[in-house]
Each structure stands twice: as C-alpha cells, then as structure tokens.
Amino acid sequence: MLCFGCQDLAFCPYGEYWRQVKKVCVLELLSRKGANFEFVRKEETAKLVEVALCMRCFTGKVKKASKELHGFLDQVIEEHQVSKSQDKDIVDILLQIEKNGMLTVDFTRESMKAVLMRLLNVTAMIEIKKYREAAMIEIEVLQQLGKHDKGRNRCVQIRNWFDYRNHICIVFEKLGPSLYDFLRKNNYRSFPIDLVREIGGQLLECVAFMHDLRLIHTDLKPENILLVSPDYVRVPDYKGLSRSPKEGSYVKRVPKSSAIKVIDFGSTTYERQDQNYIVSTRHYRAPEVILGLGWSYPCDIWSVGCILVELCTGEALFQTHENLEHLAMMERVLGPLPQHMLKRVDRHAEKYIRRGRLDWPEGATSRESIKAVTKLPRLQHVDHSAGDLIHLLQGLLRYDPSDRLTAREALRLPFFTRDQLRR
C-alpha cells in the first residue's frame, strides 16, 4: 500500500498546503525507498493522477467517462506532437484506474515513475503555453498604453521584450518598491495625508486614462503600484505604537518623491458586456464581483477606495478570505447592502442571502469571524478623517457600481482641488 506518510497530504487534497506542494510531493514519493505501486487504493491513485495531470476532471475521485479521458489525451498528443505509441502506458493506466479503481501488478514502480514523469512534463508544457499566452496579451496591452501614454499617465513603460528558452521576458523602466513593500518595511505605518492625496491623484489619473481607452485593470492593489524612486526620509512618528529596535526612536519612513507607476497588466481586459468571472485580489474586490452581478470600470474605482484607506491606516480595509465575511465587513464599514443588488445575486451567491438580507451573523463560520467584523470601525472613523477625504471615499466605495464615482469625477472633488487652490 502506498503511504503518503502525512494525513494532511493523503486525505486533504484541496487544502492550500496541498496545492502548493503537490508536484514536489509526487516526485518525493517516487524517490522513496520501499514505495510499492503493486497495489494502490483508488483514492490514492486518483490523487497521484490528479497531481500529475493538474487537470480539473480529477477531483480526488475517478468519475469521468473514458471518452473524456481519451479526449484530454488526444488534445495533449495533438498539441505536443506525441505519438500514441509513446503514450500507451498513460492511456492504459488511466483506463485501468477508471475501470477497476486501482492499479495492479502490471505496472511496476519504474513504469509508474516513468509515466508520472511523462505526465508532469506534459503538464509543464501546457502551463508554459498558458503563461506564454498571458504574457503576450500583457505585452499587447503595454504597447497599447505606451502608444497613447507617452509617460504622463502613470502606467509603467515597456522597453522591450524577448523570448528566452521558451520564457517570455519583458523589460521595463527601473522603478522603486511597491506601496505594499514600503508599508511592510515601515511596520505598516500610515502615509501622511498629503502623500495620500498626491498618490491618490496620480492613481486616479492612471485609471481615468485606462478607462478612456476602454481598458479595465481589474487587479489594482498596493503591490501593483510602484514608487518611481526608492529614496525615503525618516520623520518622527508620534502615533507609532512600537519602537523600531534598529532606529531606536519613534520614526517612520516617508518617500522622498510621491511619483508612482501602475504595473501588472496581465489581467487587464477591454470593456464588454456580461463580464461575470471573478476578478481583483480579495481585499480589493468590489461587491458586484462577489455577488455575481457582472462588472465593468467601477470595479477599478472600488479598488482605489480600498487602497486609499490602506495608505491612511497602514492596514487593508477588508482583511478576509471568505465571501460572506467580506460582505459582512462591507456592511459594518459602509452600511447595509442595497436590496436591489441582493435580489439580483447569481446562483453562486444566493447562499449568502436569507430573507432579503445578508445571512449574518447567523451564517458566520466561527465566533472569531463575528469578532473580526464587529471590531471594524465605520468609514467615518478612518484615520486622517478630514471631511474631504471621507467624502471622496464614500463616492469611491458606493455599493451600486452605477452610482460609484468615475475616476475623473473623483479628481474634481475638494480632496484634490482644495490643495491646488492653496498653491
């Protein structure tokens, strides 16, 4: 009997840990002394094949028909010019698993190892092709932005690109750290309000520029906003709660320059009707995306609102990894979700709604989840809670995307224009 040696890996194939190390685990298992492939249980075999193929039709139980198995193999063989005689072992193994739910003595350890290695190699080829296609799409977007931008609208500039050993490499202008990295190295201390204003203005200018070109970034977050310069100065931080052992005093870093560039256009898409798939990194995901209502330009605006709050406080506004808790956090910070949005949720989000309202706290997964929501402050209590900033955030974080501010409307609000009048 093949033993994984770890209950978590053997019986929890859907955990995050499993997903991260599954390929490594297979190779490690194959190299183990005493591993016996002469008789393997159905579940364990299915997991091995799932790992080797990395394909969706295997979910820990072998249920699919031979037609689908052959269809996948035919696709692999066609795409990679593999002769059917070369892959006879793969076909035999898959069909035997499907028919009997196990492997028999017909397949030796060496044979199984060779087949799994073959499948892993094919998987790698498929993955390379997928990422190559994504890279070429990003290059196309970058070239389109560069054609219209001329460096004024805060999008990173592509210098060149080339293919090195089947890997697409893109050359960009040299830039500083991301806003997230700057926050992290600064012990998550907030940015001064004037710096938030300058960064926010540039970010909205970039978003307005992209939207004018009918492009939606879909993945705006502090990690994808880079400071142009890495230089910084140290200033007193009277609100600091912890002393930096290296610097020996209450100080924080502040960038010398507020200039930024937006990066990572790999998820950027042109605006079109009926876009319903999931976009944006969790903390910056708009409610219409979670509820399955379709999304467009306003999903970028929501992300900008979340980013500005994070720059003001040093912490992400919605720190969660679960949809219902995420929606409950929104209601805690911003008030109840509109009824007309709750009535239109798609079938995947129906489970979050009960009797016309969010199923909270009844649907909470734990007491800790309820506490995490309850401790969140209202939007009005965000640090630097000057009225102009709150007014801006309320417009950027409106639930209904049709009521949400556009980037150009936001730039005309007093938070940005009042500073210009002072000058």
Residues designated as active site:
219
Asked whether the beta carbons of 300 and 211 are under 8 A apart, the reply is yes
Q: Residue 8 belongs to what H/E stretch?
A: helix 7-11
C-alpha span between 299 and 317 (Å, rounded): 16
What is the C-alpha to C-alpha distance for residues 387 and 392, in angstroms, rounded to an integer?
9
- Compute the distance between CA of residue 292 and CA of residue 128 in angstroms, rounded to an integer: 30
Q: Which of 227, 218, 220, 219 is nearest to 179 (CA)?
A: 227
**Which tokens in the block code for residue 24?**
């490594």
DSSP state letter for 273: S
Pick from 338, 322, 312: nearest CA to 283: 322
CA distances from 34 to 2, 25, 63, 340 (A): 9, 16, 30, 62
Reference 133, options 172, 157, 173, 163; nearest CA is: 163
Please list, residue by residue across 270-295, b when 16 or more beta carbons sit within 10 angstroms of its beta carbon and e when fewer do. Answer: eeeeebeeebbbbbbbbbbbbbbbbb
